[in-house]
Structure 1
Amino acid sequence: MTVKMIAVDMDGTFLTSQQDYDREKFKQLYNKMKEQGIRFVVASGNQYYQLKSFFPEIATEISFVAENGAYIVSEGNEIFNGEIDPKTIQKVLQILVNFEEGHIILCGKNSAYVSLNEPDEFVAHGQKYYHRLKKVPDLREVKDDTLFKFALSFPVDQVETVLHQLHVALGDKVIPVSSGHGDVDLIVPGIHKAHGLIKLQELWGVKTEEVAAFGDSGNDLEMLKHAGYSYAMGNGQPEVKAIAKEIISSNDENGVLLKIEELLQN
């Protein structure tokens, strides 16, 4: 059993419900990963600037598949940057007007953007995941950035219905995926976490059967289907548990770190 790349989702997977992780234990495991030549990859729907804040000492050593694969940075170097066509951005914003319960963050390479009309509590929620978040008068006027994702938020009990409605309304312009807790991301077709892992594998010569991946939500499905070793969290969504090769302890029980420890012993 050979693992050369370990990819972890963050919210609901690597991070506990308190938005942290056992830093001392991870430090020991990370040093072992380095000794064994195993690459550590953070694969999340969140913004790169937020993700790297969790790993201040090693942010320039590890890799980030951020924004569900739309922005990839490895060892401080930009590897890939997706983009949604500006006309598609305008069309999607037009369609989203019909989803009255939804709140919108438009995500770009330099920053994420939120309308001045959004309630303060939604903006505060967004700032946890987007450390660069600018308030703008009108999302349709955001021009000077490479835009690659919409991050939407709905009441949790509406998500299943909304996902279906978005699929119908958007066609193949952008793909809606659930990222847990009422959040829905609209991503570029074909650009997801698995696409990000493939880019890094090509860079490093890592085979798919040498990849271990951990996740809990709909935006992890492609990555878990792709990886040679796939692990769903005990707290994961049913469809994620159904496709993973193994279900492990929850994010609040150190599930990821315990499994990594096991993988490093083999």
Structure 2
Amino acid sequence: MPIKLIAVDMDGTFLNNQQDYDRRWFQELYPQLQAQGIKFVVASGNQYYQLRSFFPEIASQLAFVAENGAYVVEAEEEVFCGELAAETIQEVLAELANYAEVHTLICGKNSAYVQDGEDPTFIQHASRYYHRLTTVANLRDLPEDTLFKFALSTTVANVEPLIASLSAKFAGRITPVSSGHGDVDLIIPGIHKANGLKRLQAHWQIADEEVAAFGDSGNDLEMLQHAGFSYAMANAQPAVKASAKTIIASNQEQGVLQQIEKILAETNQEHIPS
């Protein structure tokens, strides 16, 4: 089946290690995607407001599966917004207090929140991914908002033990996933990138077999398993490479744009009369 939807993770996938992409090349490819009726979806663990900033000229046209699927927006219209139970939030905060090496954000529709007194290096790191970041006196007492995700930062070596510990403690209530570089997201069970794509597919009447997905980290696994065409970056985590149907060039080599160009060429070839 032809590809009708392309979903790209950002960090480590669409973006290079300098947090950018070949904008001129993409500006050449995007009108071709539009002409072929192929939807372009940004699917990331990052905040919607940060993701928009990468596409200033066309953000109002795009669909975003942000916050690992907890917040889905199409053409600036909200499609879905998840919500963590208040009781779960308090229980998770109590548990995280036992991990001195873990830094914590709570993510909501209006903003992400960090506690006053957090490590300034962590706050600086977080502000790159959360353009709306509010400092509060206590994470247990936040402004009114719809809260849907925890974003944790720890050492790379501590990621797997942390995921195992929190998975055992909160089975069925939160799902810990790796988002690369020592970061771990705690998401609502079943509310992941694939779930966000399904909501957009239903709106656009696009089958799973017509979806192409690109990723590199643990929070991309459901999306890659869901898509008819799945691509792991050369720099992807081993589990991601094992899950994808195809391994392509790295994020540093603009592997996503290379593959989109191939997809467009194949689509154009299909449309040439025999």
Q: Deviations over 1:68-127 (max 9, x none)?
A: 000000011000000001111111111111111100000000000000121111000000
2:23 maps to 23
- Give the partner amino acid of 1:85: A
Q: Deviations over 1:203-250 (max 9, x none)?
A: 000010000000000000000000000000000000000010000000
Alpha-carbon distance between aligned partners in 2 of 1:63 and 1:146, rounded to the nearest angstrom: 20
Alpha-carbon distance between aligned partners in 2 of 1:98 and 1:165, rounded to the nearest angstrom: 11
Secondary structure, in 3 states, of the residue corresponding to 2:181? Answer: coil
Task: After TM superposition, give the deviation of residue 160 of structure 1 in Å.
Answer: 1.3
1:169 maps to 169
Q: Deviations over 1:128-175 (max 9, x none)?
A: 000000000100001400000000001111111111111112222110
Alpha-carbon distance between aligned partners in 2 of 1:17 and 1:130, rounded to the nearest angstrom: 18
1:13 maps to 13
Residue 84 (structure 1) aligned with residue 91 (structure 2): no
Contact 1:70–1:81 under 8 Å retained in 2: yes
1:250 maps to 250
For normalisation by structure 1, the TM-score amounts to 0.99
2:134 maps to 134
Contact 1:95–1:170 under 8 Å retained in 2: no
Secondary structure, in 3 states, of the residue corresponding to 2:260? Answer: helix
Alpha-carbon distance between aligned partners in 1 of 2:243 and 2:219, rounded to the nearest angstrom: 13
Residue 115 (structure 1) aligned with residue 115 (structure 2): yes
Deviates more, 1:223-232 or 1:154-163: 154-163
- Give the partner amino acid of 1:185: D
Q: 5 Å matches for 1:38-117?
A: 38-117=38-117
Alpha-carbon distance between aligned partners in 1 of 2:171 and 2:229, rounded to the nearest angstrom: 32
Alpha-carbon distance between aligned partners in 2 of 1:85 and 1:156, rounded to the nearest angstrom: 29
Contact 1:214–1:231 under 8 Å retained in 2: yes
- Give the partner amino acid of 1:265: A
- Give the partner amino acid of 2:214: F
Unaligned runs of 5+ in 1: none
1:33 maps to 33
1:160 maps to 160
2:270 maps to none
Unaligned runs of 5+ in 2: 267-274
Residue 191 (structure 1) aligned with residue 165 (structure 2): no
- Give the partner amino acid of 1:4: K
Deviates more, 1:239-248 or 1:90-99: 90-99
Q: 5 Å matches for 1:183-222?
A: 183-222=183-222
1:182 maps to 182
Alpha-carbon distance between aligned partners in 2 of 1:191 and 1:59, rounded to the nearest angstrom: 23
Secondary structure, in 3 states, of the residue corresponding to 2:140? Answer: helix
CA RMSD, Structure 1 to Structure 2 (Å) = 0.7
The ranges of structure 1 where at least 4 consecutive aligned residues each deviate by more than 4 angstroms after the TM superposition are none
Secondary structure, in 3 states, of the residue corresponding to 1:114? Answer: strand
Secondary structure, in 3 states, of the residue corresponding to 2:101? Answer: coil
Q: Deviations over 1:7-33 (max 9, x none)?
A: 000000000000000001001110100
For normalisation by structure 2, the TM-score amounts to 0.96
- Give the partner amino acid of 2:253: E
Task: After TM superposition, give the deviation of residue 258 of structure 1 in Å.
Answer: 0.2
- Give the partner amino acid of 2:123: V
Alpha-carbon distance between aligned partners in 1 of 2:59 and 2:29, rounded to the nearest angstrom: 16
Secondary structure, in 3 states, of the residue corresponding to 2:100? Answer: coil
